[in-house]
Amino acid sequence: MSRPIPPPARLDRRGFLRAATAGAVGAALAPEILAARARASAMERAEIRIALIGCGGRGTGAAIQALSTAGPVRLVAMADGFRDRLERCHADVAGEAGAAKVDVPEERRFVGFDGYLKAMDCDVDLVLLATPPGFRPMHFEHAVARGRHVFMEKPLAVDAPGVRQVLTAAEAADAKGLKIGVGLQRHHHPGYRETVRRIQDGAIGDLALLRAYWNSAGVWVNPRQPGQSEMEHQMRNWYYFNWLCGDHIVEQHIHNLDVCNWIMDDFPARAEGMGGRQIRTGKEFGEIYDHHMVEFTYRNGVKLLSQCRHMTNCADNVSEHAHGARGWADVSGHRIVSEGGWEWRFTGAAADPFQQEHHDLFAAIREGAPYNEAYYGARSTMTAILGRMATYSGRVVGWEEALASNLAYRPSAYAWDGTPPSLPDANGFYPVPMPGITQAF
């Protein structure tokens, strides 16, 4: 069974963490560390009990994939903000994975903003975090505090304070021996793994330029319903509000930016770019942009040109490319062309990377092997946030400045009567970030 490529060895993790407010992890954790190690030994033969936090489409898929791993495994607790999503997810997971692997009676189905606390307090070994990403830092932090292994969807945060919170929790997870998987599934795709390995081994020479794209028509809209509160409307349309989504450059384009970081074995030193709303300007699209174009610069001077767009009737493109002194690579196409016209294409066995990332995580739990993908997940999340900061502000933004930002997208309270940070005007339109005017970091 394949293993994901670990966080780059040359990445100065402590340097990355320097800007974070990292909590001390010391002798006080010793009993929990010992308990985690004992649990890992027992996991080799025991049933792994799962709690699912976030019951939308991705949460449903993650639960089915987790229940399709080797060895005894069972879903025993679920939580979501909305009852209808939880019940639909429960039926879909039981229908796909089999009712024998789903044991979630009414008393272990939790609805509301605090449902994650109750689900994690159940007798579970691992939690699947698949809510909108604005909740990820606090959910991850609590899972680690409770001593649970974690699979969490990308991105890991929507702002720099959230990234720092994730990094602190990742350190605590290491100290406790917890295993952490992140839904950047390209790391578990055989074609990507082999292509990246060859590029890093010099197949196209010294790198000069990277290109990354997520240009598509966009995603769903759930129309506002009569009598619906502002908090519920935004929760039902989380993709269009930064406190929940972070804009599509963060929620979606992170995949392509992550691949480029992986190739570079590094993260960008700075970013500059532009973006805005040209087509998707209706009030139903909240506050996010419909296009971003960013030029990232890595510490060695290599440039990454990044595009992401939500527009219909335009050319779609979801891909990554690398150009070097002796050739080029269509990374997403798993193809390399080097000098002299020599060409390589990946012809190995295919594997579903969404399923493989769960196979790898669950194997590490059962074997007690070191496994923590939160570090590269956090740096790729921060890369996407850095890009958004550049397009929203119209400025050149450095990595250290961005990571140190205290601009946090938070509601007044994580509750149905809380006030979201962005509110509509009298005509129902939300304020849109304006370069040169809006505080973006």
Instruction: Annotate 383-409 with DSSP letters as a single string.
Output: HHHHHHHHHHH-S-EEHHHHHT-----
Buried b (16+ CB within 10 A) or exposed e, 260-290: bbbbbebbbebbbbebbbebbeeeebbbbbb
Residue 440 lies in a domain: no
Same domain for 308 and 359: no
Same domain for 180 and 195: no
Q: Give the count of beta carbons closer than 10 Å to the beta carbon of residue 354.
A: 16
Residue 265 lies in a domain: yes
Same domain for 312 and 243: yes
d(C-alpha 385, C-alpha 164), whole Å? 12
For strands 291-297 and 270-276, give the pairing: antiparallel
108 Cβ neighbours under 8 A, 6+ residues apart? 76, 77, 78, 119, 122
Same domain for 178 and 306: no
The per-residue pLDDT for range 263-316, each reduced to its tens digit, is 999 999 999 999 999 999 999 999 999 999 999 999 999 999 999 999 999 999
Same domain for 288 and 201: yes
Same domain for 230 and 181: no
Residue 429 lies in a domain: no
Residue for token digits 């935004």? 234
Residue 438 lies in a domain: no
If you average pLDDT over residues 397-412, what whole number do you get? 98
Same domain for 99 and 205: no
Q: pTM score, two decimals?
A: 0.92
The per-residue pLDDT for range 229-267, each reduced to its tens digit, is 999 999 999 999 999 999 999 999 999 999 999 999 999
d(C-alpha 86, C-alpha 162), whole Å? 26
If you average pLDDT over residues 378-399, what whole number do you get? 98
If you average pLDDT over residues 152-168, what whole number do you get? 98
d(C-alpha 348, C-alpha 66), whole Å? 25
Q: What is the chain's mean pLDDT, rounded?
A: 92
For strands 327-330 and 303-310, give the pairing: unpaired
Residue 414 lies in a domain: no
d(C-alpha 311, C-alpha 91), whole Å? 34
pLDDT exceeds 80 at position 4: no
Q: Domains in the chain: how many in total?
A: 2
Residue 432 lies in a domain: no
Same domain for 288 and 143: no
Same domain for 283 and 234: yes
* 27 or 326, greater pLDDT: 326
If you average pLDDT over residues 349-368, what whole number do you get? 97
The per-residue pLDDT for range 74-128, each reduced to its tens digit, is 999 999 999 999 999 999 999 999 999 999 999 999 999 999 999 999 999 999 9
pLDDT exceeds 60 at position 36: no
Which structural domain range is residue 54 located in?
13-186+355-372
- HSE (CB half, 13 Å, CA atoms) of 146? 22
pLDDT confidence of 35, banded at 50, 70, 90?
Answer: low
pLDDT exceeds 70 at position 404: yes
What per-residue confidence (pLDDT) applies to 98? 96
Residue 137 lies in a domain: yes
Same domain for 137 and 174: yes
Same domain for 303 and 170: no
- Give the Cα-Cα-Cα angle 272, 274, 280 (nearest 5 degrees): 150
pLDDT exceeds 70 at position 41: no
- Tokens representing 238 are 């989380």
**Nearest alpha-carbon partner for 386 in 254, 290, 216:** 254
What CATH number did the domain enclosing 230 receive? 3.30.360.10
Residue 139 lies in a domain: yes
If you average pLDDT over residues 374-399, what whole number do you get? 98
What CATH number did the domain enclosing 88 receive? 3.40.50.720
**Nearest alpha-carbon partner for 182 in 204, 219, 226, 149:** 149
If you average pLDDT over residues 399-412, what whole number do you get? 98
Share of residues in the chain with pLDDT > 70 (%):
90
pLDDT confidence of 341, banded at 50, 70, 90?
Answer: confident
d(C-alpha 210, C-alpha 321), whole Å? 6
What per-residue confidence (pLDDT) applies to 12? 54
What per-residue confidence (pLDDT) applies to 42? 55
Same domain for 219 and 104: no
